[in-house]
Amino acid sequence: MQLYRDLRVLTARPSAQDEAAAPHHLFGVADAADGWSVGRWLRAALPVLTDIAARGRTAVVVGGTGLYFAALTKGLADAPPIPAAARREAEALYDAVGEAEFRRRAAELDPDVGRISPGDRQRLVRLYEVAATAGAPLSALRRATAPALATGSWAGVVLEPPREALYARCDARLAAMLADGAVAEVRALLARDLSPSLPAMKAVGVREIGEHLAGRASLAEALARAQQQTRRYAKRQLTWLRNQTPDWPRITALEPDAQWEALQAIAELP
């Protein structure tokens, strides 16, 4: 979500001061109307990583979206282009039968559907349309794909502070976002009348603050709901990291300075 320039506050993008203190790449480079996929991000990230390595520097890839890390370290399926008609058909089927039945039908085409979180319509539809048109499930295409980063050229680290402290930080950050202009940011985004299916429109807080702006929730209610969704997202991240990266070292410190010192030691950074 930090790709989108429209949502600096609500996605907790690095501040202008942070960006001035150290080189940052691919933050705020996309317009909310231009929905990026993980494949598009990967195509943009690889030249940046190559350039950083050519200058003898170490890149630190940060974020919480597991699929993006998996694309770098395990590869991304090179699925063929999906005809627009097939995409519309998959979207229409989802709307007609609902998520549970759509998920059941998708499982008949690709058993990997169980790895897609509940409510993730975009990835469910993508899995279905690929399996229905490519002649092979997306999971099989992924298994035949080489990782983008060579084995041994990178090290993975998980920030995993105590859960209750993490949740408290999540709650405090949402409150700070409201104080820093998140409501005005969402108002400007909604005024563009963009498709609700675009990734930026699904950022945590957009729907909740939108309900407040529409008069259907108080600001306190919107904050509480956004805080709850953020905690749920953090829980899903922790579950994914526990299942998908069990061998990555963990940093359990809560304070940024202590986290950075631990990262420097693990990754042998200067």
- Two tokens at 248? 């990555």
Query: Model-level pTM greater than 0.85?
Result: no
The DSSP 8-state label assigned to residue 27 in this structure reads: S
Half-sphere exposure of 114 (CA within 13 A, CB side): 2
Burial, 71: exposed, middle or buried (Cβ in 10 Å; 0-12, 13-18, 19+)? buried
| Those residues with Cβ within 8 angstroms of residue 1's Cβ, 6 or more apart along the chain or in another chain | 7, 11, 199, 200, 203
Positive or negative: CA dihedral 170, 174, 179, 185: positive
Give the pLDDT score at 170.
96
Looking at residue 45, its pLDDT comes to 94
Torsions phi, psi of 251, nearest 5?
-110, 115
In angstroms, the CA 101 to CA 85 distance is 21
Q: Residue 13: what pLDDT?
A: 94
Domains of the chain: 5-36+155-267 (3.40.50.300), 84-143 (1.10.20)
Coil, helix or strand at residue 212: helix
Q: In 76-86, which positions are buried (b, 16+ CB within 10 angstroms) versus exposed (e)?
A: bbebeebeeeb
User: Which pLDDT score, from 0 to 100, does residue 251 have?
Assistant: 95
Measured at the CA of 76, the angle between CA 249 and CA 24, to 5 degrees, comes to 60
Task: State the Cα–Cα distance between residues 100 and 119, nearest whole angstrom.
Answer: 10
10 Å CB burial of residue 133 (0-12, 13-18, 19+) is middle
User: Cα angle at 58 between 67 and 200, to 5 degrees?
Assistant: 35
How far is residue 192's CA from residue 206's CA, in Å, rounded to a whole number?
Answer: 13
Residue 30 φ then ψ, to 5°: -120, 150
pLDDT per residue rounded down to tens, the chain (270 residues): 999 999 999 999 999 899 999 999 999 999 999 988 888 899 899 999 999 999 999 999 998 788 888 888 888 766 667 788 888 999 999 999 999 999 999 999 888 888 888 888 988 998 898 888 877 777 777 666 678 888 888 989 999 999 999 999 999 999 999 999 999 999 999 999 999 989 999 999 999 999 999 999 999 999 999 999 999 999 999 988 988 889 999 999 999 999 999 998 887 776
Q: Which two tokens stand for residue 75?
A: 């590869």
